[in-house]
Structure 1
Amino acid sequence: MKVLLVATVQSHICQFHKPLVNILHEHGVEVHVAARNNLAEKNGLALDFVEKVFDIPFARSPKSKNNIIAYKQLKKIIDEGHYDVVHCNTPMGGIVTRLAARNARKHGTKVYYTAHGFHFYKGAPKKNWIVFYPIEKFFADHFTDKVITITKEDYRLASKKFNTIVEHMHGVGVNEEKYLSVTPVETKKFRQENKFDEHFVILCTGELNKNKNQQVLVQAMEEVVKKCPNVLLLLAGNGPEEMNLKDQIEEAGLSACIQLLGYHTDLEKYVNASDLVVSASKREGLPLNIMEAMLCGKAVVASNNRGHRELIENSVTGTVVAECSPNQIAEATLELIEDSGKRKKYGDAAKKTIQPYTSKNITKELQSIYEL
């Protein structure tokens, strides 16, 4: 058996699909990857766990001519590769791949698409339903053998509306071996080495972009430090908003209490060393950074979007703010800074509820989906 995994960028495969590759390899499956090589931006990520990698010039923008080039290259790879399964991910990667695989499907190749969070959902802007819903439905009905959803809301909608097989799995798998391997002794040493012991550490992980909305967290910190000057906010990730965030932090006089960490492959150290995890993103599918925090028993303060709501039960495993404003984020953060008992209560409950989302459980779900 031979499988081609496709995504817009190679880092997506590195970050989210190693459990899939591992289980495929255990069953003797040869795995190839086709995606744009962006690993130089990702500080240490390596796509060294598959048999072959194709560098395809995908672009996120549907207007980019690079996607036409990507289509032609990908069609040739698929037609000549004689794959049993072509498994595509990400919006543009999914559309271009399914178009490129049309001929191969006639000869027995199965095409799977993992939806990491549809752009149309309850509460989404009307234009998202007008634009994205008919596209996803058309491609699911005509060019896809299985649609794999990772949110319950997407699964219910796709099962009802799409004319293809629809599967559900609990995300892409939070790596329990990696995140639970950090000992309390190691965490204490890491905090001391980084001088975190002097601070209450808040962690936010994600690409520095407008959707992740880190600028709201910076604004919230202006209020937080007035009452708790020893708070340190760590923003882990890189992206197009990095310079804007740097300017915002400097202009607000917060350089001493907000650090931009850049992209890290050792986030397990930072998650375990943190006292609280926050996220202000506008839109999420099923956020891995929140799963990692919950697995490590951390309380979370998060914006009110469907991905956060699916993972976090408000006032039980964390706080989901009604409105993602600097004031509400600051208020919820201060409440948990001042109440260590509540933080522990939320963290303990979170660790229990996140178990279905671990890599161990995801492996079982993938075996079923691939009929291994």
Structure 2
Amino acid sequence: MEKKVLFCASTLDHLRQFHQPYLEAFARAGWEVWAAAEQVGELPWAHRVVALPLRKKFTSPENLLAVAQCRRLLARERFGLVSVHTALAGAVVRAAAWTLPRRPPICYTCHGYLFREQDGLGKWPYLLPEILCAPVTGLLLVMNGEDEQIARSRRLGRRIRRIDGMGFDGARFYPPSPQDRAAGRARWGFAPDEVVFVYAAEFSRRKNQALVLRAFARAGVPNGRLVLAGVGDLREECIRLAQQLGLSGRVLFPGEVDTAELVGFCDAVVSASHSEGLPFHLMEGMACGLPAAVTDIKGHRDLVEPEVTGLLCPPEDEAALAAAIARLAGEPDTRRAWGRAAQVRSGRYARQRVVPQVLGEYRQWLEGREGDG
């Protein structure tokens, strides 16, 4: 095999969850597929997996060591394409490329900038690395309208394209039959008359599960249930908050689960996230025929059409989110109609459509970049 491609992300789990179809496509096309993340492990379709000492805190000295190790890797292997994901890995790989006299073709996929233009001085710790890395970013892929506007106005890449996410698995997320739905709800312990809201995400300040809990308590829906799936540093804190709010018997914390075995048995998606790229949990819920009550932020507003597939609420507005939860719980006909519309809309973001779209962007850029970089 002559052509080599490197996929890099902050964690190996990120590559496993979101990028295996792309690794497979390159491997089947005859490329030697490499992967780099914070640890070595099994990764289907990758011929080689290397570890970089990536640390979540940007200012960690170990990230400088990661830059040095990545520089040696890029100089030695002469990759025909470097596809980098997540903010930390994106900064490390592109900083390493900066120092090379001969740079590989680098595509950075932005899964959601962690800032907004209106954030004032607070945006600069995140925006400045993007500005500095722009000259070595041959292809920049963004996933929502606000990030595209930022990228183009700030010229954060040589070639900027908007894609419809990375593609959810449409073969696993779809509305279950009435029989399967009844059986699935019984397995989870959901009563037939309960309205179940689901939020599957890492427990973090950005994902903001605490606000969802407060809004759910405030909504006062007697037949409502809430499922907060996932793991993370703030999970135990949220469990304590649920107890304090008197929600212990109405909120489930199942941990890390196969969401395909959960979402279709629920009734609506809820989220209070501060920032997103194009969130998988929302797309998967839509594909299962679920309406949404979510914050009006980038990523969410690209997916949810108000009063058609769900409701958008001002960020940090507990009362508005509570009202949205109460409305979805109290209007079953609306819930079903919006869910059907959401399921139709989700087709745009399915893997079978998006993977060819993204691979096409790679191909067009590589074919047209002779002499670039």
Superposition TM-score, scaled by structure 2 size = 0.90
Report the Cα offset of residue 253 of structure 1. Answer: 2.1
4+ residue segments displaced more than 6 Å? none
After TM superposition, list the pairs within 5 Å mapping 1:2-81 onto structure 2.
2-37=4-39, 47-81=43-77
Report the Cα offset of residue 34 of structure 1. Answer: 0.6
Letter in 1 for 2:323: E
CA distance in 2, matches of 1:113, 1:205: 26
Report the Cα offset of residue 67 of structure 1. Answer: 0.5
The answer as to whether partners of 1:84 and 1:108 remain within 8 angstroms in 2 is no
2:181 corresponds in structure 1 to: 187
The answer as to whether partners of 1:112 and 1:147 remain within 8 angstroms in 2 is yes
CA distance in 2, matches of 1:328, 1:295: 25
1:42 corresponds in structure 2 to: none
CA distance in 2, matches of 1:250, 1:129: 35
Report the Cα offset of residue 183 of structure 1. Answer: 4.7
Superposition TM-score, scaled by structure 1 size = 0.90
CA distance in 1, matches of 2:176, 2:66: 41
2:310 corresponds in structure 1 to: 318
CA distance in 1, matches of 2:169, 2:140: 24
Report the Cα offset of residue 119 of structure 1. Answer: 2.9
Structure 1 gaps, min length 5: 40-45
CA distance in 1, matches of 2:132, 2:315: 34
> Are residues 188 and 212 of structure 1, via their aligned partners in 2, closer, same or farther at CA, if it must alter by over 3 Å?
same
Q: Secondary structure at the match of 1:109?
A: coil
Match of 2:204 among 200, 209, 214: 209
CA distance in 1, matches of 2:96, 2:271: 37
Of the structure 1 ranges 195-204 and 299-308, higher mean CA displacement relative to structure 2 is found in 195-204
Pairing 1:83–2:79 present: yes
Q: Secondary structure at the match of 1:34?
A: strand
Q: Secondary structure at the match of 1:216?
A: helix
1:151 corresponds in structure 2 to: 144
Of the structure 1 ranges 127-136 and 229-238, higher mean CA displacement relative to structure 2 is found in 127-136
Report the Cα offset of residue 38 of structure 1. Answer: 9.6
Letter in 2 for 1:217: V
Structure 2 gaps, min length 5: 365-373
Report the Cα offset of residue 78 of structure 1. Answer: 2.0
Report the Cα offset of residue 11 of structure 1. Answer: 1.4
Pairing 1:99–2:91 present: no
- Spell out, residue by residue over 1:339-369, the C-alpha distance to the aligned partner (whole angstroms, 9 max, x if none): 1111111111112222221111112212211
> Are residues 28 and 262 of structure 1, via their aligned partners in 2, closer, same or farther at CA, if it must alter by over 3 Å?
same
Q: Secondary structure at the match of 1:336?
A: helix
Q: Secondary structure at the match of 2:246?
A: coil
CA distance in 2, matches of 1:371, 1:330: 46
Report the Cα offset of residue 181 of structure 1. Answer: 8.4
Letter in 2 for 1:76: R
Match of 2:213 among 218, 225, 242: 218
The answer as to whether partners of 2:174 and 2:289 remain within 8 angstroms in 1 is no
Of the structure 1 ranges 13-22 and 199-208, higher mean CA displacement relative to structure 2 is found in 13-22
- Spell out, residue by residue over 1:30-57, the C-alpha distance to the aligned partner (whole angstroms, 9 max, x if none): 2211111398xxxxxx633322211222
- Spell out, residue by residue over 1:183-213, the C-alpha distance to the aligned partner (whole angstroms, 9 max, x if none): 5433322211222135321101110011111
CA distance in 2, matches of 1:28, 1:87: 17
After TM superposition, list the pairs within 5 Å mapping 1:102-121 onto structure 2.
102=98, 106-107=101-102, 109-121=104-116
Of the structure 1 ranges 3-12 and 66-75, higher mean CA displacement relative to structure 2 is found in 66-75
1:43 corresponds in structure 2 to: none
- Spell out, residue by residue over 1:150-179, the C-alpha distance to the aligned partner (whole angstroms, 9 max, x if none): 112222332343151112211111110121
**What number of residue pairs does the alignment pair up?**
360
CA distance in 1, matches of 2:11, 2:28: 25
**Identity of matched residues, %:** 26
CA distance in 2, matches of 1:184, 1:69: 54
After TM superposition, list the pairs within 5 Å mapping 1:152-301 onto structure 2.
152-162=145-155, 164-180=158-174, 183-198=177-192, 199-224=194-219, 226=220, 228-264=221-257, 266-301=258-293
> Are residues 74 and 181 of structure 1, via their aligned partners in 2, closer, same or farther at CA, if it must alter by over 3 Å?
farther
| RMSD over aligned Cα atoms | 2.1
> Are residues 38 and 83 of structure 1, via their aligned partners in 2, closer, same or farther at CA, if it must alter by over 3 Å?
closer
Of the structure 1 ranges 303-312 and 68-77, higher mean CA displacement relative to structure 2 is found in 68-77
Report the Cα offset of residue 76 of structure 1. Answer: 2.2
